[in-house]
A and B are shown apart, each in its own frame.
Chain A
């Protein structure tokens, strides 16, 4: 797992270097996610976030279930992996393997599943789009997957997921006040909504299905709560 992440980062760096652009910002933010806590000492580039890295980590520990990050350090052992199914907005399903201890937000990113927003279909390429452009851009966009606006620090609701089965929902620990505060503002909130960054893989969750909420068209977050599905 770690090796694959490393190689991805490596590829990312090479790619960005070849584009002659600064890599520090993109890569550090990638590394700073909670699951990768053990990497943090090596990264001193991004001063501003240092101050609250501690907070993120504490929150992570506080809310995560019994499994800890270190459990999953040798995540290559299949026994430490569970199966999770993400159900997209158009109903398409994607089965992924998630190491115990990893959050659903990170698992989604590892597998290029976007949690935020609604997937608008890209219209068929008009004549001025060349196919090679399309391909090259797609490659670059692989590294463009968003990490949740707050990168798992419990300050936004962009990683909102819906646990599709009450049985699994009940296996999760109750959301803390801080998570509920953010869920208040989530779009398309349901009775079994959670934040992906706070749902941590553990063996009991093997087989869980998570739906990505369809974006509501109502912007009045100040008062309006969409009806539960």
Chain B
């Protein structure tokens, strides 16, 4: 490692020198630019950088990331069989190659450099580091082996360097249960059920492809607390999983019964309507029994996990899930003595789960009736969670940084007059872990508009009277600490090596999945 470190140090130093030199020859670079640091090189970070470069022609933007590779979830979240969705990397690369923009990876906010240091170095710091943890169910048995978060599973098959060691056991069971019915859950189900000959032509990590080739999983249960009218997935992902060749789909037709509240939801919400229609079509067109060789996908509605059971031999391995059946209740019930208690309980549950409860929104409540499902693998796809760093106001209940239009509030109580000057958020850290890539575009626009307003109104110190060291200061600080930043040019080396390796296997890309290999190629 030491040798890579040294090489990276040389590389980043020479890069900073050449940047300094080249900056002299361009009149477009102001000597005292507005120095901006964006933390997190995913969609939120790149859209923020792009919008900042456009809105502030004198701004210099540095995007930093804890990984040596940029693009965040576009690289490690988007499923390998969705190459079109990853085309947006071209647009992000253009931003990174912009003369007033830089990318530096391989060092972490909070350990290599503190937030207060970054705020000293830059006029503007935008935190866009997303959500790298998971919500927990808080039920017995949750930490048995064989139970993983969908995030970990996604990182594993996408070759995230922190996901390689997950090694889910796909060989000692034929049944997997996925808790949740959002797009991440559907992605996970598709990866487990798809023919490996299809996956072999994608940029799926080779360790994952090997494991899937030997997988004995034939049955996947996708379990949701609510019904088909409330499923959180979108039509594209659903259509894809329903369209897997030679897959038996099972949906209980009785679950498709629509209540008046459901009718209302479906009438007013195009996404839910189209998802419901697809499910209902799949339910009616499916054969009643699978053929012997067929893999199976079961949509299970109105069930919430109650506890996980182990195999009983002290193995610590999951052997099944105990579910409680649920019914849907509107959040606003007619008031009488008994119901009020139930209502306050419901609202408490809803708040606890970080769900907005509004008129017409229905939540699932247990009925006291239970059932059991055997399985040897469980993926919890119930939501991501952001993590705080030192010195950052953080709303632990909602899992976001308290903010108004991207401006970080000093206190979680939400007092709009107490702002952290020069500190902003964007993406999942700002609004919670929902939405698609393009959602970040609008999210970034809002944050950048706030920054522009603050610059214009003098809320951010004028750069001419209060210059900040910016990039040069950051690289110096990292160098003093023997931390090796990886620049975009090093990522381009990784990129072309991955493409070269992929070419040998007729894949678009063979991802390097360890820090060691990534850094080795980066410094070659």
Q: Is the C-beta of B2 less than 8 angstroms from some C-beta in chain A?
A: no
CA–CA, A149 and B235, complex, Å: 19
* Known contacts A141-B54, A150-B87; is-contact A156 B437 (Cβ 8 Å): yes
Contact with B along A146-174 (1 / 0, CB 8 A): 11011101111110000000000000000
CA–CA, A124 and B341, complex, Å: 57
* Known contacts A26-B94, A49-B87, A120-B448; is-contact A184 B274 (Cβ 8 Å): yes
Contact of B271 among A136, A153, A184 (CB under 8 A): A184
Contact of A220 among B434, B437, B438 (CB under 8 A): B434
Number of B interface residues at 8 Å Cβ cutoff, please give it. Answer: 69
Residues of B within 8 A of A (CB): 22, 26-30, 32, 34, 51, 53-58, 82-88, 90-91, 93-94, 97-99, 201, 203, 232, 234-236, 239, 268-272, 274, 431, 434-439, 441-443, 445-446, 448-449, 452-453, 455-456, 462-464, 492, 499, 502-503, 508-509
CA–CA, A229 and B68, complex, Å: 45
Q: Would you list which residues of chain A between 157 and 201 have a CB under 8 Å from chain B? A: 157-158, 177-178, 180-182, 184-185, 187, 189
Q: Would you list which residues of chain A between 129 and 151 have a CB under 8 Å from chain B? A: 129-130, 132-134, 136-138, 140-141, 144, 146-147, 149-151
Contact of A223 among B271, B442, B509 (CB under 8 A): B271
Given A22-B492, A51-B508, A217-B442, 8 new contacts (CB under 8 A): A19-B26, A21-B99, A25-B93, A52-B83, A128-B32, A155-B82, A156-B437, A185-B436
Residues of A within 8 A of B26 (CB): 19, 136
Q: For residue A227, which residue of chain B has the nearest CB?
A: B268
Nearest chain A CB to B488 CB, angstrom units:
10
Residues of A within 8 A of B57 (CB): 129, 133-134, 137-138
Residues of A within 8 A of B492 (CB): 22
CA–CA, A180 and B235, complex, Å: 9
* Known contacts A48-B509, A181-B234, A219-B435; is-contact A151 B268 (Cβ 8 Å): no
Residues of B within 8 A of A133 (CB): 27-30, 57-58
A-B contact pairs, 26 of them (CB 8 A): A22-B492, A29-B91, A47-B503, A48-B509, A50-B508, A52-B84, A116-B441, A118-B442, A120-B449, A122-B452, A127-B464, A132-B27, A136-B28, A137-B57, A140-B98, A141-B54, A144-B98, A149-B438, A153-B84, A155-B84, A155-B87, A181-B234, A184-B235, A187-B442, A220-B435, A221-B439
Residues of B within 8 A of A123 (CB): 452-453, 455-456
Q: For residue B78, which residue of chain A has the nearest CB?
A: A155
Q: Is the C-beta of A225 less than 8 angstroms from some C-beta in chain B?
A: yes
CA–CA, A144 and B96, complex, Å: 12
Nearest first, the 9 closest Cβ-Cβ pairs linking A and B are A155-B84, A181-B236, A137-B57, A123-B456, A29-B90, A149-B88, A153-B84, A136-B28, A48-B508
Number of A interface residues at 8 Å Cβ cutoff, please give it. Answer: 65
CA–CA, A181 and B438, complex, Å: 14
Interface of B is mostly: helix
Q: For residue B507, which residue of chain A has the nearest CB?
A: A51
CA–CA, A216 and B435, complex, Å: 14
Nearest chain A CB to B186 CB, angstrom units:
13
Q: Is the C-beta of A11 less than 8 angstroms from some C-beta in chain B?
A: no
Nearest chain A CB to B452 CB, angstrom units:
6
- Are the C-beta atoms of B94 and A144 separated by less than 8 Å? yes
Residues of A within 8 A of B436 (CB): 156, 185, 221
CA–CA, A154 and B32, complex, Å: 42
Nearest chain A CB to B502 CB, angstrom units:
7
CA–CA, A180 and B274, complex, Å: 9
* Known contacts A129-B57, A133-B57, A222-B435; is-contact A182 B236 (Cβ 8 Å): yes
Nearest chain A CB to B404 CB, angstrom units:
12
Q: For residue B95, which residue of chain A has the nearest CB?
A: A144
CA–CA, A120 and B436, complex, Å: 22
Of A48, A136, A184, chain B has the most CB atoms within 10 Å of the CB of A48
Q: Is the C-beta of A66 less than 8 angstroms from some C-beta in chain B?
A: no
Residues of A within 8 A of B502 (CB): 47-48
Q: Would you list which residues of chain A between 198 and 229 have a CB under 8 Å from chain B? A: 215-217, 219-223, 225
CA–CA, A222 and B442, complex, Å: 15
Residues of B within 8 A of A117 (CB): 51, 441-442, 445
Nearest chain A CB to B456 CB, angstrom units:
4
Nearest chain B CB to A118 CB, angstrom units:
6
Residues of B within 8 A of A22 (CB): 97, 492
CA–CA, A137 and B398, complex, Å: 40
CA–CA, A102 and B364, complex, Å: 49
Residues of A within 8 A of B446 (CB): 217
CA–CA, A195 and B68, complex, Å: 35
- Are the C-beta atoms of A51 and B83 separated by less than 8 Å? yes
CA–CA, A20 and B99, complex, Å: 10
Nearest chain A CB to B333 CB, angstrom units:
21
CA–CA, A127 and B58, complex, Å: 11
